[in-house]
Amino acid sequence: MKPLFAALALALAAGPVMAADADSAASHPFSIRDLVMMDRVSDPQLSPDGRYALFSVRATDYAANKGVTSLYVLDLNKPPQPVKIVEKGSSARWAPDGKSIYYVAAKDGTAQVWHRAFDADASGKGLSLTVRTGEAVTDGPLDVNAFKLSPDGSKLLLTYDVFTDCADLACTKERLDGREKDKASGTVYDKLFVRHWDTWSDGRRAQLYIADATAASQPLLLSRGIDGDVPSKPFGGDDEFSFSPDGRTVYFDARIAGKTEPWSTNFDIFSVPADGSAEPKNLTADNLAWDANPLVSPDGKTLFYTAMKEPGSEADRFAIMAMDIATGAKREVDPSWDRSAGALQVSADGKTLYTTTDDNGQHPLFAIDVATGKATMLVTDGSVGAFSAGSKTFLLSRDDLKRPADLYTADLKGKGLKQVTHFNAKRLKGAQVGDFEFFTFKGWNNETVQGYVVKPVGFKRGKTYPVAFIIHGGPQGAMTNSWSYRWNAQTYAGQGFAVVTVNFHGSTGYGQAFTESISGDWGGKPLEDLKAGWSDALSKYKFLDGNRACALGASYGGYMVYWMAGNWNQPWKCFVDHDGVFDARAMYYDTDELWFEEKENGGTQYDHPENYERFNPVNHVKDWRVPMLVIHGGKDFRIPDTQGLGAFTALQRRGIPSKLLHFPDENHWVLKPQNSVQWHETVNAWLKEWTAPGAK
């Protein structure tokens, strides 16, 4: 699974308390403490007139061991001085008139939608960004998960987790309160999911409602009869539902659950009258694969969405589709573009779609011509995380391997790129980072494969350095020119390590055939690519000390570490494995999302046991010899912690130097700041122990 295997863990535990003025410290190599304390800029929203930037910033409260998200506004016509307008709020969106915002914040212990209006400034031609009190416009007994404002600002789409047999929100609240009072703690299940990602099922579904934007206390259920989550879990958001331009129709995507949810990727696009006068209508029932992200053209005539073609796959290419709303006729907009589109935005004239995707080690912003399907790269050389398209301008977040996300503006052709926020400037000035370089080589079947090398901080020509060889997760993912709060190459460069990584067969951004080539071959082509990439890097970069190198990976990268432990352990002084698959057979029966296992292994384990054994690391434990640090989260239901415990047992029984770091409160990722510090400090100490001069 992409989210599942795709990313990995940050974060390590308690260390010295971080000073509030750390950003003014003297120049020093980049460290985990720098990473943890970075401000995280996200969710850019351009005002309707294109003048103001609305966005979120997550700061770290290290003592409280959590992040705190606030909302900011920046006047793009004046010197860059963002104004914090809401403390502890998120998901801010402009009202259609651009004179107020809606956002989510807590009220009396539950998450509600709030409204905050801006006064006119002294000139009468702009907004006064001075702090003004907002007011809650919802007051339901349950948390609002997500929302969206109608085009005229009169209605709100709202999502809540509810028991679908309840007539109103109060019923769900009463039932939850009753469970809290019940002395019996058991739960009876009659279908999967029993647990998903990091949460045990309690029988509730995320459902879509509509309410008056000024009096939202009695929302109307729109997703009536939908046995599924709107938006999807665990990572779905407000790009999964939308209004038509006239506000009369609502579109959303959902997967009907039944008893097949854990092995189905059959999401469909539904339409429903905004007044709830009819039940939702399935518009894509003919496609048994994944349909997502509905977006209507400005003239209301065309429904754009993304669609996969292979049922049961989560890593198939997302094509861009256009549906004639009047006739239901569908066509693929971009059949010749060999990339998988992300969520869509549409130009004011409806002639151009905008999206982001991985592309040859970058994550650019693209424009797609609706008539011809031609894809034009607009902003590259790094990663465009999120963007907001106006009538003349883009507002976007952008990061790369040397700097975290900040906001930029550019015209609609991607020209005139200008940085407009500088939230971590002082920290970056004080923290030295390593330079990087992409390289290519001939991998499996003599095909071109790409990777990159990061030099250690303080690099000196003629000197050699120990190496952290990082293997990405996914497996349908990639190590790109982007900043990460999980596997960040600069945390290793700051410790004096060079970093090498390879985007092996199965990685995204190199064409769909390249991505699909890993399925059924987890220990084959990728291992050949890793071997060839390591050899090529050693020959090209003489500063890499091949005799002092450790391999690290998480999720699929963790699987590969376990596989390498028995099949390619000669070059390595140590291994680090985070949340990896140790026993492919047990993994099938323990994981939450079965479609991934069945796709990658050609069917169920009981029908095709030989496929699960072909590249099963547990079968090669007798050949393990390299010291290994195993890390796992107790709330990881994607790759349960029994996988890590099994690997540690194997290491200990074989007498191989090994350690286990277990986080009972973390999922597939390590998210809490102090846990992140502990994670990195434990990993760094392990690397240094085994790559030190004279180490065995």
CB 216, CB 158: distance < 8 Å = yes
Which one from 313, 555, 658, 676 is the annotated catalytic residue? 555
Which one from 636, 641, 658, 676 is the annotated catalytic residue? 636
| 636 labelled catalytic | yes
> What 3-state DSSP class applies to 57?
strand
Read off the tokens for 448. 């071109």
CB 144, CB 150: distance < 8 Å = no
Read off the tokens for 584. 């492919």
Which one from 115, 363, 505, 668 is the annotated catalytic residue? 668
Burial class (CB in 10 A: 0-12, 13-18, 19+), 130: exposed
Nearest of 512, 478, 508 to residue 308 by alpha carbon: 512
User: Can you tell me the distance from the alpha carbon of 469 to that of 458, in angstroms, rounded to the nearest whole number?
Assistant: 19
| 388 labelled catalytic | no
Residue by residue, DSSP assigns 570-618 as TT-SEEEEES--S-HHHHHHH-S-HHHHHHHTTS-TTT-HHHHHHT-GG
Read off the tokens for 9. 């863990």
Q: Order the strands of the 241-243 sheet from edge to edge.
A: 241-243, 249-255, 267-273, 281-282
48-85: buried (b, 16+ CB within 10 Å) or exposed (e) per residue? eebbbbbbbbbebebeeeebebbbbbbbbeeeeebeeb
Nearest of 450, 442, 504 to residue 481 by alpha carbon: 450
CB 470, CB 490: distance < 8 Å = no
Phi, psi of 339 (to 5 degrees): -140, 160
CB 404, CB 38: distance < 8 Å = yes
Interstrand relation of 628-633 and 574-578 (parallel, antiparallel or unpaired): parallel
| 662 labelled catalytic | no
Q: Taking the CA atoms of the chain, what radius of gyration do you get in angstroms?
A: 25
**Can you say whether residue 43 is alpha, beta or left, with left for phi > 0 and alpha for psi between -120 and 50 degrees?**
left
Nearest of 11, 213, 228 to residue 93 by alpha carbon: 213
Q: What is the DSSP letter of 12?
A: B
User: Can you tell me the distance from the alpha carbon of 229 to that of 234, in angstroms, rounded to the nearest whole number?
Assistant: 10
Task: Please tell me the total number of residues recorded for the chain in this structure.
Answer: 696
User: Can you tell me the distance from the alpha carbon of 473 to that of 625, in angstroms, rounded to the nearest whole number?
Assistant: 23
Place of tokens 């107790």: 634
Nearest of 400, 501, 497 to residue 449 by alpha carbon: 501
Residue by residue, DSSP assigns 238-256 as GGGEEE-TTSSEEEEEEE-
User: Can you tell me the distance from the alpha carbon of 277 to that of 260, in angstroms, rounded to the nearest whole number?
Assistant: 29
Q: In sequence order, what are the beta bridge partners of 6?
A: none
User: Can you tell me the distance from the alpha carbon of 471 to that of 452, in angstroms, rounded to the nearest whole number?
Assistant: 12
Active-site positions read: 555, 636, 668
